[in-house]
Amino acid sequence: MKPERVLLFIVCVMAVLGALCIVLPGQLSIGGKEVRWPTLAEVFEKKHPDISIQPSDTIPETPEEPEEPEQPDTVVVEKPKPVVIPKVEVNDSIDSRYFLRAFYEALPQASERVVRVVHYGDSQIEEDRMSQQIREQLQSRFGGQGVGLMPLAQTIPTVTMKQELYMNGRRVNPNAGPRRYMVYGIRDMQRRDSHYGVMGQMAVMADSLVRGSEAVQAVCVPQSEKVHYSRWRVFADSTIHYDFSGDTAYLWGRGAVYGLSQESANGVIVDNIPMRGCMGLVFTKIDAMQLSTFYREENVKLIIMQFGGNAIPSNEKPTTISAIVYGLRDQIRYIKRCAPNASILFIGPSDMIRMTDGEWETYPLVPYMDRLLKKITMEEGVAYFSLFQWMGGSGSMIRWRELGLAGEDGVHFHRSGARKAGNAVAEWMLEGMENGQWKIEN
């Protein structure tokens, strides 16, 4: 409808109502009910009531009825009661590096043979973060070359290695390469026989679902001048054949490939094995014979486990966190059975923060998990490094974000933060030695 017609309609309605107010009284009785409307005089009359009180005026003594309380427009929700966090008693006077004795005693022999370190962790160690600094410090002091283990199809690039994958001479996306299985992956990527290998993941060549996977080239180029290696190695079924030329590994045949390795024949080799989204409760799903054989034959003397952080954001009950921690204890015991001659170091979660009422704060259960992990690891004869305490405790992640060392999520380190943390772990370990000898006493 046009604006002028709308205006004309409104004027006509007002004229009719005004005429009714003039002709009819302001009150009528219709069907026994009284109907009232304002007269024209009442509409246009401006009343200014006198609210001042003169001395001769009196205030009525009739008490006024109490007004009904106004109902709030919004529902007020009571804040949940704060979670009661149990106190964890830990003997902080004990230096847990005492439990690294097997590793310390093996290091002086690194000039003659490989001393291997396997670093498992969640997404905090992806891209070879933290592991890289541990590797560099150990290799600079005790020798060794190469980045160690890597999967046949490196789906997550690292800062130390660039990998390209080819099948039958054609470059492919790693996710489209030989079919992969992971112990920490989705159900469709898991195996029934538990044969995942030491990395917890493997790839099958000549899989009937992946055409062209019977011949694979993995081009693996170190990304730093500091990274050198003197030999290639392939961990695979005996049905897999392989050869090497420069930075390229050629593989052909039908079977499982559990990993490639660029390394040296002596010194320290540090393997970076990230498991994104994993809480660390998966090692008991890996075939014990495979783990035991690798740990023994490759002279693994230190196994680093870095888990726990993934449990924090999704859990708010101490009982849930304690169940996860004691589940990790079962994993530690399993690895100890598979590697009885190796030391184990557990790195706890970093500080983690969340937004509450417009303010950043540490997740309440981070300190609890940190203390409980320290308690159970020491009971199991395992060294413990508290990232949480080293960072500065509760709220320290706020400062790390401000300094550009951690991400906006308040959970993950940036590469600069990871380098800082990795160097701190390496320095803490090396402080346990003096003149190449183990010095920590219990």
pLDDT above 80 (res 26): no
CATH code of the domain containing 419: 3.40.50.1110
**Structural domain boundaries enclosing 167:** 150-264
For residues 279 and 404, membership in a common domain is answered with: yes
User: What's the confidence (pLDDT) of residue 2?
Assistant: 67
User: What's the confidence (pLDDT) of residue 360?
Assistant: 93
Does residue 187 lie within any of the structural domains?
Answer: yes
Does residue 179 lie within any of the structural domains?
Answer: yes
For residues 234 and 333, membership in a common domain is answered with: no
pLDDT above 90 (res 136): yes
For residues 302 and 344, membership in a common domain is answered with: yes
For residues 204 and 257, membership in a common domain is answered with: yes
For residues 292 and 216, membership in a common domain is answered with: no
Which tokens is 345 given?
Answer: 């170091």
**pLDDT tens-digit profile of 270-311?**
999 999 999 999 999 999 999 999 999 999 999 999 999 999
Which residue, of 203, 234, 264, is where some domain finishes? 264
Q: What is d(CA 162, CA 169) in angstroms, rounded to the nearest whole number? A: 18
> Three-class SS of residue 145?
coil
Q: Minimum mean pLDDT among 141-145, 212-216, 226-230, 282-286: which range?
A: 226-230
Residue 250, beta-bridge partner list:
217, 243
Alpha helices in 308-386 (DSSP H): 318-338, 366-379
**pLDDT tens-digit profile of 40-76?**
555 555 444 443 444 444 434 444 444 444 544 444 4
Does residue 22 lie within any of the structural domains?
Answer: no
For residues 96 and 128, membership in a common domain is answered with: yes
For residues 137 and 167, membership in a common domain is answered with: no
For residues 164 and 279, membership in a common domain is answered with: no
For residues 326 and 358, membership in a common domain is answered with: yes
> Three-class SS of residue 334?
helix
Does residue 180 lie within any of the structural domains?
Answer: yes
Which residue, of 230, 264, 298, is where some domain finishes? 264
In the block, residue with structure tokens 């540490």: 362
Cβ atoms within 10 Å, residue 200: 23
For residues 156 and 258, membership in a common domain is answered with: yes
Mean pLDDT along residues 31-38? 55
Does residue 12 lie within any of the structural domains?
Answer: no
Mean pLDDT along residues 121-133? 95
Average pLDDT, the chain: 87
253 touches 205 (CB < 8 A): yes
User: What's the confidence (pLDDT) of residue 6?
Assistant: 67
Does residue 81 lie within any of the structural domains?
Answer: no
Does residue 63 lie within any of the structural domains?
Answer: no
For residues 435 and 330, membership in a common domain is answered with: yes
Q: What is d(CA 375, CA 53) in angstroms, rounded to the nearest whole number? A: 78
**pLDDT tens-digit profile of 168-214?**
889 999 989 999 999 998 888 999 999 999 999 999 999 888 888 99
User: What's the confidence (pLDDT) of residue 86?
Assistant: 84
Which tokens is 84 given?
Answer: 């009661």
Q: What is d(CA 204, CA 254) in angstroms, rounded to the nearest whole number? A: 7
For residues 255 and 334, membership in a common domain is answered with: no
200: left (phi over 0), alpha (psi -120 to 50) or beta: left
Which residue, of 244, 264, 284, is where some domain finishes? 264
Does residue 1 lie within any of the structural domains?
Answer: no
User: What's the confidence (pLDDT) of residue 263?
Assistant: 96
0.95 exceeded by pTM: no
411 touches 313 (CB < 8 A): yes
CA angle at residue 277 from 271 to 283, to 5 degrees?
55
User: What's the confidence (pLDDT) of residue 59?
Assistant: 39
Domain count within the chain: 2
User: What's the confidence (pLDDT) of residue 85?
Assistant: 85
User: What's the confidence (pLDDT) of residue 36?
Assistant: 59
